[in-house]
């Protein structure tokens, strides 16, 4: 049954999200060709303006891609779990626990895929620009990688692994925060959508306040370091970055657990389809 749930969830979500991600790949490849082959000569004011416009629309498209993906996943979750289609979802001979897990995993897959593709797209276009300008020779590339390794005191694969882990955790916590708000919102007998939005805003504000308090000490430390004449070495900054990374990971994992338990509890025990 779990396999069938995955099959249908992927099939349904792919109708919208697959073309969007393919479009991103297409735009990246076209961008690389244009930049790599120097089809346009970006010299002069007019061409400079054209280049700036293209970069602007590219950035806008990437932002729009994330917004559309998250809004689509959010609406789909609400529609299939707590609205009319919930009548079918919750009368399938499958546990609500499995239904929720499958929805979550498929959503995380798409959000993570979009994030990875967006990062690859930006890096690919950036490297193409540098390469076509003759500023990215293999020795320079090796130098950049070496500097990165030295700065973070980690090998490049370890850095990439850490970034991927961070991206995955942020997708998971971002989606679960939305799903948790929707689940709490459906507990209300009226204005469920409004209640979900208000819940999301409240969670967001509370998190901001908690973050502010938690980070106050660390911010002071960075400021003192920056202002101090006896500025010691980059090591301190790197260790602070490491600290921020570790504490933000711990915070995200704690939040993920809270959101997840709330969602599973509500969908299992407090289902309130009207």
- Residues lying near other proteins in the complex (CB under 8 A) are found at 1, 4, 7-8, 12, 84-88, 90-95, 189, 269-273
- Pick 235 or 265: Cβ nearer other proteins: 265
Q: Give CA–CA dist 227/231, Å, rounded.
A: 8
The helix (run of H) or strand (run of E) holding residue 262 is helix 234-269
Q: Give CA–CA dist 186/77, Å, rounded.
A: 12
Paired tokens of 210: 């908690």
- Pick 138 or 189: Cβ nearer other proteins: 189
The helix (run of H) or strand (run of E) holding residue 137 is none
CB of 62 to other proteins, least distance (A): 27
User: CA dist 128 to 42, 44, 67, 103, 167, Å?
Assistant: 14, 21, 27, 37, 24
CB of 105 to other proteins, least distance (A): 18
Q: Give CA–CA dist 153/232, Å, rounded.
A: 17
Total residue length of the chain: 274
- Pick 5 or 172: Cβ nearer other proteins: 5
Q: Phi-psi category of 44—alpha, beta or left, where left has phi over 0 and alpha has psi -120 to 50? A: left
Give Cα 106 to chain centroid, integer Å.
Answer: 14
Using DSSP, state whether 136 is helix, strand or coil: coil
CB of 108 to other proteins, least distance (A): 22
- Pick 94 or 168: Cβ nearer other proteins: 94
- Pick 102 or 118: Cβ nearer other proteins: 102
CB of 269 to other proteins, least distance (A): 6
- Pick 41 or 84: Cβ nearer other proteins: 84
CB of 183 to other proteins, least distance (A): 14
CB of 11 to other proteins, least distance (A): 8
């Amino acid at each position: 049954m779990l396999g069938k749930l995955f099959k249908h969830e992927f099939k349904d979500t792919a109708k919208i999200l697959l073309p969007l991600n393919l479009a991103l790949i297409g735009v990246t490849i076209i961008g690389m060709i244009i930049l790599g082959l120097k089809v346009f000569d970006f010299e002069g004011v007019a061409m400079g303006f054209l280049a700036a416009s293209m970069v602007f629309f590219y950035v806008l498209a990437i932002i729009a891609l994330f917004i559309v993906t998250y809004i689509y996943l959010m609406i789909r979750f609400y529609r299939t779990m707590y609205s009319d289609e919930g009548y079918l979802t919750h009368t399938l001979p499958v546990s609500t626990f499995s239904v929720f897990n499958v929805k979550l995993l498929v959503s995380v897959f798409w959000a993570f895929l979009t994030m990875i593709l967006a990062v690859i797209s930006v890096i690919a276009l950036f490297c193409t620009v540098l390469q076509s300008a003759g500023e990215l020779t293999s020795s320079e590339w090796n130098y950049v990688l070496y500097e990165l390794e030295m700065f973070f005191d980690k090998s490049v694969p370890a850095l990439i692994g850490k970034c991927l882990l961070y991206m995955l955790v942020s997708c998971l916590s971002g989606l679960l925060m939305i799903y948790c708000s929707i689940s709490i919102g459906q507990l209300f007998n009226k204005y469920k959508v409004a209640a979900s939005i208000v819940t999301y805003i409240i969670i967001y504000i509370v998190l901001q306040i908690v973050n502010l308090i938690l980070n106050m000490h660390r911010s002071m430390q960075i400021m003192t370091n920056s202002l101090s004449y006896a500025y010691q070495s980059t090591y301190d900054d790197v260790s602070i970055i490491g600290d921020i990374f570790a504490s933000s990971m711990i915070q995200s994992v704690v939040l993920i657990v809270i959101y997840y338990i709330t969602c599973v509890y509500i969908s299992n025990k407090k289902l309130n389809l009207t």
